[in-house]
């Protein structure tokens, strides 16, 4: 098996070495934990995230790392964790802790403990392994390696899904990513967690669902959640797995065509993928279902408004997109670019989909050459006629009624002659 450091980028290696050196200099028991160890044992080609656990004060330890090599530190006092960031790469350092849940789905109260006890609080055995930094010793007290070998997900105690029902969402993600099955007692325990899902905050559900959206095959993980009854328990209006698979396949095909200039949305690539994921869940779900979702889940305003408007967009009759371009533009002009993108991705009617693309790419930016100042210069008193004339000129351009400035000027003279009757 390869040295785990060979899987790190240069930027990750700088932080890894700094954590190792600080642990040695301060005599702090420190460990690489969780997904990094799992992915190393699975023979992955790279490690996405580095998570460390220390027996002691993690925030103070992170400060010592910062003093050594100048990384930024973001501390989280509630759980005694910190994020170290350098050169755009972040790693998490957590206090080895024991957790107590006041009630199902609650955020835990924590207290310091040793690493073996800390590993017992993890979601699945494959994530309950650690590598001691001083000598590279692998700690696997709950037989995670055996589960990796047979390809299964196993919880560490019967109340795992009760304590933290988000483990169901993570389980669907891991099962899909690695092609693992649920170990029988783990599958049987799903029922114990379902009734507690609605006790979760919308923020926690949003976080884990959006991680699923960023996976290469999100529809497969969502199908697991559908099959396990998670969406039903959450009260989310989600289509069946076959429809979801169609929608994600369609989304991939539409975005791969590169007809839509995504840069015009002023969103990161991941933010667009997350928004598309939500669109796949709620397109044509109806206004009531979408309203309930956005009341519960704290979306960013751009996404929230888009999902709400998506319900209205979905109800526009496709027959209305056989009209003139100006009439189609009138139907779509008030929708944001993100709404139109989601409609373009998921709408099946070709005319309607084409209109959404044209509205954002072309029609929305069509304006007459004439301005309000020009109308004033021609002696037209300011008033409602200004908006009517400029709108009429714009519609003429959209419908190819005018094709040049000379055409526009001729139409403008006719409109000015009639302005007194408006």
The pTM score is: 0.91
Lowest mean pLDDT of 32-36, 57-61, 155-159, 284-288, name the range.
Answer: 284-288
Q: Are residues 174 and 215 in the same domain?
A: yes
Q: Do both 356 and 242 map to the same domain?
A: yes
What mean pLDDT, rounded, does the chain reach?
A: 94
Q: 352 and 253 in one domain?
A: yes
Enter the DSSP assignment of 89. Answer: E
The CATH number assigned to the domain holding 38 equals 3.30.460.10
Residue 255 sits in the same domain as residue 347: yes
Same-domain pairing of 26 and 69: yes
The reported pLDDT for the residue numbered 422 is 55
> Which has the closest alpha carbon to 131: 45, 7, 26?
7
Query: Of the candidates 173, 203, 236, which is a domain's last residue?
Result: 236
358-389 tens-digit pLDDT? 999 999 999 999 999 999 999 998 988 999 99
Span 246-255, average pLDDT: 94
Confidence grade of residue 1 (pLDDT, cut at 50, 70, 90): low
Beta strand pairing call for 138-139 and 130-132: antiparallel
Percent pLDDT > 70 in the chain is: 99
pLDDT of 58 above 80? yes
Q: 404 and 356 share a domain?
A: no
Residues paired with 132 in a beta bridge: 31
Same domain, 145 and 155: no
From CA 352, how far away is CA 301, in angstroms rounded?
A: 26
Q: Please tell me the total count of domains within the chain.
A: 4
Q: Give the pLDDT of residue 285.
A: 81
The boundaries of the domain holding residue 107 are 1-150
Instruction: Give the sign of the dihedral formed by CA 385, CA 389, CA 394, CA 398.
Output: positive
Q: Which pLDDT band holds residue 2 (cuts at 50, 70, 90)? A: low
Locate all alpha helices (DSSP H) within 362-418, ordered by sequence. Answer: 372-377, 384-398, 405-418
Element (H, E) at 182: strand 181-182
Boundary of a domain, candidates 111, 130, 150: 150
Q: What span, in angstroms and rounded, lies between the C-alpha atoms of 19 and 94?
A: 12
My answer on whether 1 and 146 are in the same domain is yes
> Are 7 and 136 contained in the same domain?
yes
Say yes or no: 171 and 266 in one domain: no
pLDDT in tens, 135-191: 999 999 999 999 999 999 999 999 999 999 999 999 999 999 999 999 999 999 999
CATH number where 216 lies: 1.10.110.30
Looking at the structure, do residues 94 and 156 belong to the same domain, yes or no? no
Query: Which pLDDT tens digit goes with each residue over 267-299?
Result: 999 999 999 999 999 988 877 788 889 999 999
Looking up tokens 């530190």 gives 73
Least Cα distance to 217 among 237, 181, 194, 241 occurs for 241
The last residue of one of the domains, among 106, 126, 150, is 150
- 67 and 113 fall within a common domain: yes
């Amino acid at each position: 098996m390869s040295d785990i450091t060979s899987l790190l980028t240069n930027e990750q290696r700088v932080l890894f070495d700094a954590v190792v050196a600080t642990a040695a200099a301060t005599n702090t028991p420190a460990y690489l934990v969780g997904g990094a160890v799992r992915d190393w044992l699975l023979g992955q080609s790279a490690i996405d995230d580095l998570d460390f656990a220390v027996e002691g004060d993690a925030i103070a330890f992170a400060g010592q790392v910062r003093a050594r090599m100048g990384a930024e530190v973001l501390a989280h006092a509630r759980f005694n964790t910190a994020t170290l960031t350098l050169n755009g790469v972040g790693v998490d350092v957590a206090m080895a802790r024991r957790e107590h849940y006041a009630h199902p789905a609650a955020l835990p109260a924590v207290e310091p403990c040793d690493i073996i006890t800390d590993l017992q609080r993890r979601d699945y055995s494959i994530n309950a392994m650690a590598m001691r930094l001083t000598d590279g010793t692998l700690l696997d007290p709950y037989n995670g390696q055996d589960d990796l070998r047979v390809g299964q997900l196993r919880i560490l105690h019967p109340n795992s899904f009760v304590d933290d029902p988000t483990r169901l969402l993570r389980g669907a993600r891991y099962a899909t990513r690695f092609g693992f099955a649920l170990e029988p007692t783990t599958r049987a325990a799903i029922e114990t967690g379902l009734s507690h899902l609605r006790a979760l905050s919308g923020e926690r559900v949003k976080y884990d669902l959006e991680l699923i959206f960023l996976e290469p095959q999100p529809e497969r993980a969502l199908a697991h959640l559908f099959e396990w009854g998670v969406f039903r328990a959450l009260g989310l209006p989600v289509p069946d797995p076959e429809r979801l698979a169609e929608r994600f396949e369609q989304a991939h095909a539409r975005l791969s065509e590169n007809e839509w200039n995504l840069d015009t949305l002023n969103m990161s690539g991941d933010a667009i993928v997350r928004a598309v994921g939500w669109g796949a869940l709620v397109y044509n779900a109806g206004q009531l279902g979408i309203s309930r979702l956005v009341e519960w889940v704290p979306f960013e305003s751009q996404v929230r408004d888009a999902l709400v408007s998506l319900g209205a967009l979905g109800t526009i009759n496709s027959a209305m997109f056989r009209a003139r371009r100006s009439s189609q533009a009138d139907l779509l002009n008030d929708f944001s670019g993100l709404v139109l993108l989601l409609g373009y991705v998921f709408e099946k009617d070709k005319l309607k989909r084409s209109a959404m693309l044209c509205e954002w790419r072309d029609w929305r930016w069509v304006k007459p050459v004439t301005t309000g100042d020009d109308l004033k210069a021609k002696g037209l008193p300011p008033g409602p006629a200004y908006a009517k004339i400029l709108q009429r000129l714009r519609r003429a351009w959209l419908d190819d009624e005018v094709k040049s400035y000379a055409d526009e000027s001729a139409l403008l003279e006719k409109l000015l002659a009639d302005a007194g009757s408006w």
